[in-house]
Amino acid sequence: MSLFCGRIKLTATPLSESEMISDMAHSLTEKGVGPITTFATGGFQAAAKRLTADSPVDVSTYSLIDQPGGISCAGSVRIDNRRELAEILGMSGSDVTREQDLALVIAAYRRWGADCIARLYGDFAFALWDANRHRALCARDHVGIVPFYFARAGDILVFGNELAAVAGAPDISGEIDSRLVADFLDTELLFPPGRTMLKSVSRLRPGHRLEFSESGLKEERWWRFERIPEVRFDSDGDYVEALDSILARAVKNRLPAQGSVATHVTGGLDSSAVTAILTEQCRAADAAPPMAITWNPEPITKADRSHPEAAILATFCGALDLSIHRHPPDVESVLEFFARDPVLHPTSSMLIMEIPVQKVAHRAGCSTIFSGHGGDQGISYRGSGYMPSLLLSGDWQRLAEIGRSSGSGPIRAFARALRGLVRLVKRDLKNQIPFALGRSSGSFKRPSFCRFNPRNRFVRRLAASPEGARRNMLLDGYLDMRIEAWAEHGSRRGLRYVYPLLDRYLLEFALGLPPEMFDRGTQSRWLMRQMLRRHAPEPVAENRNKTEPTRSLAMVDALEEARPLLVKALHGELERGNMIDVASLRKDLSELPIRPRGNRSPRFGRRRAALEMLDIDPRV
């Protein structure tokens, strides 16, 4: 995989290569590994460098290509179905390697045009220039594992998988979008899909493609999860076998050809499934087992060690003979987080947790971090909305059958469906009413700065069905928010993240399953639990706790310890002080400690948003 950026010009006048190198590629110098490779032909220019140490040394063999016929391409591409594609395209499938994935993209484009993207399975983002047709085609994989940003300046399209690189192009304005900043300060949530805090720079949404020609820009969605065909087998055992096989392939496809790997471990279903299969494959290949890293601190007391969260993690790693590397958030990670500028660097509060993981993985020589993130949207979906949908549709016979088969009885099944419906309605009203009224309490935004615009926010529909629930989770932006933030910050240490549970084959398999594979009355995530029993101890497969209180409390402790340093940084003339009531923020931080309330910290989100936007560096 690689870091890349570039520019495409529709007219015949060549671009200045030296200008592009000095302004755009500069943002890549402190990221990835090795030198920057540049490429220019006519109206197409690009720069790239290796993301990780285990990437091929000659980055130009897979990140920058100029083929006969006037087609050039730059991108970060890993294709899962390369052999099948190569055979269809008349190439020697057995000889095609990862280094030729971008060449496969070009060959697929020659055969199918813009429709080639739907035939690509893997993690990718690329920009392709067809000089003969004076047309550019850009694309991003189905869930956006590889980021892609773009901006237009007349007949020039600027692109890259680093936001700062695109923003650094001389053709692009650095003006901040005040309305989206107001949205962020008022809600600490995401802005609309496809937007950034810069007026001129856009995000290519996951599962979308972009065409640039003399007719203008045209963005459209190529991956439609609503149209996934049904997946049906004869028996429960067949479903379990299919899941085991698809997940094993997803993990194998993401293993680097060389080098060490790390993996998240929490004791939850998702990270446990990925780590267990990854460990089996490493040992089968006589490779070192993955470095198992957890956010949870070391249990100190006997009560700590006997806590279900700690006990399950110890049981799991003990069964796999993995050492647990504990690296909870600390003051340094908090300060490093707030030293970032969210205008130029994707943000997510979970990055505070992840920075210590990146540090230890980098020190250990790991190039790839396996994450179980994304399971909730797919194979370990909890089934929310299924029981309420049966209630609303009048399929009460099916509700009664679920109650009888689970042993709880029809009456309890009806009661559970009704409680689920009430929770969904309450959650929806709680989320939507403040935004519909354009109000948000606890913001540190100056009232004179900019009014919050509720239309900027993604609209969640009432998820009284499995389809509605997963639509919300796939489109609300939280999935790609974490992916983009971890990818950008990880690139500073030459790290890449892989997400086997977001593999397209696996995700489409999950989206086509019948609802009863997820919800069986008294047991949610049924299919995932059955599969995990093949690879992990029973207590892990039966774990139903997703709150992770130890991790949450460790984060609160780190924030509390860093609080005096954050307060100290809020003095003097601050950039963007016109947006934020700095005096009020300083007073709030000085007087009100960060204390847990359930698994959240009161007003931390609003504090975080304001501190980030001030672009301070509390490490100084």
- Residue 570's H or E segment, with its range, is none
The more confidently predicted of residues 13 and 542 is 542
The more confidently predicted of residues 396 and 481 is 481
**Residue 413 neighbours by CB under 8 Å, 6+ apart:** 387, 399, 400, 402, 403, 406, 521
d(C-alpha 216, C-alpha 71), whole Å = 20
CA atoms within 13 Å, Cβ hemisphere of 446 = 13
What SS3 state is found at 286?
Answer: coil
d(C-alpha 314, C-alpha 334), whole Å = 27
What SS3 state is found at 293?
Answer: strand
CA atoms within 13 Å, Cβ hemisphere of 11 = 7
Q: Give the pLDDT confidence of 513-562 residue by residue, as tens digits.
A: 998 898 876 678 999 999 999 999 999 999 887 667 778 888 888 998 99
The more confidently predicted of residues 87 and 32 is 87
Task: Identify any residues that bridge with 126 across adjacent strands, giving them in sequence order.
Answer: 75, 139
d(C-alpha 50, C-alpha 97), whole Å = 17
Query: Is the per-residue pLDDT at 435 higher than 60?
Result: no
291-294 sheet: strands from edge to edge: 324-326, 291-294, 260-264, 366-370, 496-498
Q: Nearest 5 degrees, angle CA 292-CA 293-CA 297?
A: 130
Amino acid letter for position 479: L
Query: Is the per-residue pLDDT at 103 higher than 50?
Result: yes
d(C-alpha 172, C-alpha 153), whole Å = 7
Structure tokens, 52: 């990780």
The more confidently predicted of residues 35 and 517 is 517
Total count of residues recorded for the chain:
620
Per-residue pLDDT, 602: 45
Q: Give the pLDDT confidence of 212-253 residue by residue, as tens digits.
A: 999 999 999 999 988 899 999 999 999 999 999 999 999 999
Instruction: Please give the mean pLDDT across all residues of the chain.
Output: 85
Q: Give the pLDDT confidence of 108-157 residue by residue, as tens digits.
A: 999 999 999 999 999 999 999 998 899 999 999 999 999 999 999 989 99
Per-residue pLDDT, 115: 95
Nearest by Cα to 141 from 456, 505, 493? 505
Winning range, highest mean pLDDT, from 441-445, 480-484, 494-498: 494-498
Backbone φ/ψ region at 216: left (φ over 0), alpha (ψ -120 to 50), beta: left
- Contact status, residue 545 vs residue 309, Cβ threshold 8 Å: yes
Band of pLDDT at residue 15, cut at 50, 70 and 90: low
- Contact status, residue 421 vs residue 550, Cβ threshold 8 Å: no
Nearest by Cα to 152 from 220, 210, 191? 210
Nearest by Cα to 377 from 499, 218, 230? 499
What CATH architecture applies to the domain 227-379+476-544?
Answer: 3-Layer(aba) Sandwich (3.40)
Q: Find the mean pLDDT for residues 437-458.
A: 64
**Percent of all residues in the chain with a pLDDT value above 90, rounded to a whole number:** 48
Residue 191: CB atoms within 10 Å: 21
**Percent of all residues in the chain with a pLDDT value above 70, rounded to a whole number:** 87
Q: Give the pLDDT confidence of 270-329 residue by residue, as tens digits.
A: 999 999 999 999 999 999 999 999 998 887 666 666 667 788 999 999 999 999 999 999
Per-residue pLDDT, 205: 94
Number of H helices, E strands in the chain: 22, 17
Q: Give the pLDDT confidence of 326-343 residue by residue, as tens digits.
A: 999 999 999 999 999 999
Nearest by Cα to 34 from 292, 264, 367? 367
Sign of CA dihedral 63, 66, 69, 70: positive
Per-residue pLDDT, 409: 80
Q: Give the pLDDT confidence of 159-215 residue by residue, as tens digits.
A: 999 999 999 888 888 899 988 888 888 876 656 778 999 999 999 999 999 999 999
Q: What superfamily in CATH does domain 2-223 come from?
A: Aminohydrolase, N-terminal nucleophile (Ntn) domain (3.60.20.10)
- Contact status, residue 387 vs residue 416, Cβ threshold 8 Å: yes
d(C-alpha 505, C-alpha 497), whole Å = 18
